A and B are shown apart, each in its own frame.
Chain A
Amino acid sequence: MSTTISDRPRTLAEKVWDDHLVVKGENGEPDLIYIDLHLVHEVTSPQAFDGLRAEGRPVRRLDLTIATEDHNTPTLDIDKPIADLTSRTQIETLRRNAAEFDVRLHSLGDKEQGIVHVVGPQLGLTMPGITVVCGDSHTSTHGAFGAMAFGIGTSEVEHVLATQTLPLKPFKTMAITVEGELKPGVTAKDIILAIIAKIGANGGQGYVLEFRGSAIRSLSMEGRMTMCNMSIEAGARAGMIAPDETTFAYVKDKPHAPQGQDWDDAVAYWRTLPSDEGAVYDAEVFLDAAELEPFVTWGTNPGQGVSLSDVVPDPASFADPNERAAAERALQYMDLRAGTPLKEVPVDAVFMGSCTNSRIEDLRAFASVIEGRQKADNIRVMVVPGSARVRLEAEAEGLDKVFTAFGAEWRFAGCSMCLGMNPDQLAPGERCASTSNRNFEGRQGKGGRTHLVSPLVAAATAVLGRLASPSDLPAVEKVGA
């Protein structure tokens, strides 16, 4: 082998990279990296399969490939044919391709169907120290396990299907250290929104972010996934968090988790993954967890965010002329006036879902705030589980009853209102508090206005009909108490 791994201290990302090196690139050529897990969905795979077909190539590793339907799937009437022709064609094409190439597919109606980034972890396929790709930018989610996970384009999807490898140049590394204890009501979503506001929506470009520090270690796996999910909103290639006991406990006994001796071997290896003492990052950022508050975006990129208790910023306050112009455009699109307290901004809709925040823990958090209350009049509230399995779990816990008693719609699994590709969309001009990850113009439907928030803020907002955090709510009078 030509690869010699030196004794110099390495970061988590470097270790995972080194352990997947098939061919080390010489003279500026990319390295050839092995891919442990390839997730597939209907939007970015059709041309990849067509390319294989044209060249007469098979899928190299069916046992490392899994497909699910998510972006185009309706979340109501899922047993009826999909009305939109483009959506239906994409789904039907995936079904045909999966059948022809023998790829494992979880279709609408199947109990493992759901958003690709929710399905991988819940099956126990996502685990520490592996490489994960998918034709989807939010593949970064899986980095929460200490995996190297990133989105790829359609020609790369074809490449991975055919070779199970990718030619890649090493990424730079950025350590983002969050130390201290979070205040009550402050969540992983608020941390990542604060990070993006701090380093900017392009601040992570070319980097793998490694989130570290005591505040990160105290997060659940769901919270860690929320953070890594949104690394991409900072422009990064990927986000990673070193695996620890929380990670192992989450993976253990999942359907595809290693068992017996394999489990012991795996954990022994996983324990070697955290960055070495003295490992050097290309950049470092620090945050004090105790200073963080519930966060909300006011603009049309995820970096345009402030504390919920703040006011809509004045574009004139931005020194950078580009940022100032972007802020002006954003305020116009969002129909907001500088100086308005964000807590006075009324909403038309609340969307609780997406691969950022649609896992069971997210639904529990949302339910804990709204239980025993009524949603505000004149707003619609949609709760969309990330996967069919999450839906079943939530129903087993009775959460669905909490949602429907509150006045929310309880839907089937999918990307839903995270993007305007399926029937769940905002009408032009509608304003939404959304637990998703992107607030671009028209992302949730043409002309729709998005405020990115945590599940707790989404819940409080649904109660009051304006942006709010749980601490703004009056106490619930418990029946019989």
Chain B
Amino acid sequence: MEKFATHTGVAAALKRSAVDTDQIIPAVYLKRVTKTGFEDALFANWRQDPDFVLNQPAFAGASILVAGADFGTGSSREHAVWALRDFGFQVVLSPKFADIFRGNAGKQGLVTGVIGEDDLEAIWAAIDAQPGIEMTVDLHERTAVLGELRVAFDIDDYTRWRLLEGLDDIGLTLRNEDKIAQFEARREAWRPRTLPVR
């Protein structure tokens, strides 16, 4: 997982609240056997509408999603985060996230910043005024800047630290690799081994 410090990219306004994981990625895509390559699945139903925000040329390549409250509710599928990430999103800002979605996002390197309702309206207005405008998200400062607008967002200290360090769960465990190696060195000889094949 890459370290996250600051990111600048096109911000897209998803003017809906309670966007559930079934909307983010419909269940039919869960049959796949990969953890990557879900860009086509993101908001698959909505994207059939030519007017959907991500179908607008101004938002091609958007990497910051600014959505209404209660983003990521519904089933706990990790695929929702994969789809956002694969499409190119690095940050989602919303007044409120579903807990499980937030947890999954933090583990996969997707920043979820909580913003105030007033700030949400202000950002949406700024995007409407200038579609395709870029936003700069600073995780150290916990701020999002677009044009004249400067907004503070919340993210818990632990998740922020992991994102700044680029640590997924495995990376976190591997910080103890010396202890794992020490443990392995004193493992008894009788313990099972699948190799060599007898």
Q: Which residues from chain B contact A310 at a C-beta distance below 8 Å?
A: none
Question: Which residues from 29 to 50 on chain A have a C-beta closer than 8 Å to any C-beta of chain B?
Answer: 32, 34, 36-37, 46-48, 50
Across the A-B interface, how many residue pairs have beta carbons closer than 8 Å? 100
Q: How far is the CB of B139 from chain A (nearest CB, A)?
A: 21
Q: Which of A63, A124, A159 contacts B169 (CB 8 A)?
A: A159
Q: Which residues from chain B contact A37 at a C-beta distance below 8 Å?
A: 192, 194
- Cα distance A256–B193 in the bound complex, in angstroms: 7
Say which size band chain B's interface belongs to: 20 to 34
- The answer to whether B183 touches A34 (Cβ under 8 A) is yes
- The answer to whether A50 touches B33 (Cβ under 8 A) is yes
- Cα distance A475–B180 in the bound complex, in angstroms: 61
Q: Does B35 sit at the interface, judged by CB under 8 A?
A: yes
Question: Which residues from 166 to 191 on chain B have a C-beta closer than 8 Å to any C-beta of chain A?
Answer: 168-170, 173-174, 176-177, 179-180, 183-184, 187-191
Q: Does B5 sit at the interface, judged by CB under 8 A?
A: no
Q: Does A269 sit at the interface, judged by CB under 8 A?
A: yes
- The answer to whether A159 touches B170 (Cβ under 8 A) is yes
A46 and B34 in contact, given A32-B179, A163-B174, A165-B173 (Cβ under 8 angstroms): yes
- The answer to whether A64 touches B192 (Cβ under 8 A) is yes
Q: Does A472 sit at the interface, judged by CB under 8 A?
A: no
Q: Using a Cβ–Cβ cut-off of 8 Å, how many residues does chain A contribute to the interface with B?
A: 45
- Cα distance A162–B36 in the bound complex, in angstroms: 18
Q: Which residues from chain A contact B174 at a C-beta distance below 8 Å?
A: 162-163
Q: Which residues from chain B contact A262 at a C-beta distance below 8 Å?
A: 188-190
Q: Does B1 sit at the interface, judged by CB under 8 A?
A: yes
- The answer to whether B33 touches A269 (Cβ under 8 A) is no
Q: Which residues from chain A contact B187 at a C-beta distance below 8 Å?
A: 34
A22 and B197 in contact, given A55-B168, A162-B170 (Cβ under 8 angstroms): no
Q: How far is the CB of B107 from chain A (nearest CB, A)?
A: 8
Question: Scoring B residues 139 to 183 as 1 if CB is less than 8 Å from chain A, else 0, what string do you get?
Answer: 000000000000000000000000000001110011011011001
- Cα distance A164–B184 in the bound complex, in angstroms: 10
- The answer to whether A47 touches B34 (Cβ under 8 A) is yes
- Cα distance A269–B194 in the bound complex, in angstroms: 21
- Cα distance A65–B192 in the bound complex, in angstroms: 10
- The answer to whether A269 touches B35 (Cβ under 8 A) is no
- Cα distance A371–B113 in the bound complex, in angstroms: 68
A165 and B188 in contact, given A64-B194, A104-B194 (Cβ under 8 angstroms): no
Q: Given contacts A90-B33, A265-B188, A266-B190, list 9 more A-B pairs with CB under 8 A.
A: A32-B180, A34-B184, A47-B33, A50-B36, A66-B194, A89-B33, A127-B191, A159-B173, A265-B189
Q: Which 3 A-B pairs have the closest CB atoms?
A: A46-B33, A266-B190, A258-B190
